[in-house]
C-alpha cells in the first residue's frame, strides 16, 4: 500500500514539475521587469527603436496605467518617417504606426499582463496574449485543449512567442540604455 502511494505521488510530481519548470523558464520575464523599470525610472510610458538585426523592422512598447505592457514589432514601409519619429522621441506615434502597419507579415503584438513577461499558465488571472502576422492569436492561459492544441504544440508555440518577445524587449532595453 505504502509503495503504491509513493508511486502515485512520484508520478504526480513528475507531471507537475515540467509545468512548473516551464512557467518559471520564461526568458521574457526578467527582460519585461528590466524594461518596465527603465520606463518608470525615466518617467515615460512609451518607447521605440529600430531592430538592428532586421533593417526595416521596428519595435515599440506602451506601458498602460494598470501595469500591462503592450509591445509590437513590425516592418513599416515608410522607414524614414518612423526613424524621424524615433529621433523626435514620438514613441507613442511609432507604436500606433506599427500597430496599423499595412505589412502584417512577421508582425508580433504582445499583451503582457502585469508587465512580467510571458507565462504559459495564468497567475492571478493575468493572461498573456500574442498576435502574429495580424491573423494568428495565441492565448497563454494554460489551457491547450480550449485552443485545440496538444500540450506539446502549446508549449512549442509558447517557446517561440517567448523567444520573439524576449528579442523585442532586448532591442528596446539596449536602445533605451544607450540613451543614458
* Residue range 81-122, pLDDT digits in tens: 999 999 999 999 999 999 999 989 999 999 999 999 999 887
Rounded mean pLDDT, 43-71? 95
Q: Is residue 21 part of a domain?
A: no
The whole-number pLDDT of residue 7 equals: 38
Three cell numbers at 9? 505521488
Distance, CA of 63 to CA of 125 (rounded, Å): 19
Number of domains in the chain: 1
Owning domain of residue 147: 26-178
Q: Is residue 171 part of a domain?
A: yes
Grouping H, G, I as helix, E, B as strand and the rest as coil, residue 109 is strand
Distance, CA of 49 to CA of 85 (rounded, Å): 10
Residue closest to 161 by CA, chosen among 115, 119, 123: 119
Distance, CA of 127 to CA of 114 (rounded, Å): 9
Q: Is residue 10 part of a domain?
A: no
Q: Is residue 43 part of a domain?
A: yes
Q: Is residue 17 part of a domain?
A: no
Amino acid at each position: 500500500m505504502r509503495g503504491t502511494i509513493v508511486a502515485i505521488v512520484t508520478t504526480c510530481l513528475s507531471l507537475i514539475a515540467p509545468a512548473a519548470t516551464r512557467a518559471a523558464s520564461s526568458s521574457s520575464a526578467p527582460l519585461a521587469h528590466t524594461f518596465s523599470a527603465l520606463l518608470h525610472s525615466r518617467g515615460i510610458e512609451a518607447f521605440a527603436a529600430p531592430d538592428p538585426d532586421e533593417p526595416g523592422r521596428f519595435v515599440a512598447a506602451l506601458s498602460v496605467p494598470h501595469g500591462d505592457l503592450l509591445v509590437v514589432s513590425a516592418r513599416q514601409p515608410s522607414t524614414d518617417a518612423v526613424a524621424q519619429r524615433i529621433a523626435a522621441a514620438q514613441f507613442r506615434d511609432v507604436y500606433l504606426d506599427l500597430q496599423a502597419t499595412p505589412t502584417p507579415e512577421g508582425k508580433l503584438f504582445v499583451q503582457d499582463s502585469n508587465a512580467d513577461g510571458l507565462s504559459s499558465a495564468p497567475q492571478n488571472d493575468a493572461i498573456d496574449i500574442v498576435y502574429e502576422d495580424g491573423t494568428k492569436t495565441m492565448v497563454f492561459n494554460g489551457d491547450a485543449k480550449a485552443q485545440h492544441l496538444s500540450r506539446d504544440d502549446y508549449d512549442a508555440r509558447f517557446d517561440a512567442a517567448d523567444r520573439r518577445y524576449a528579442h523585442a524587449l532586448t532591442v528596446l532595453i539596449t536602445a533605451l540604455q544607450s540613451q543614458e
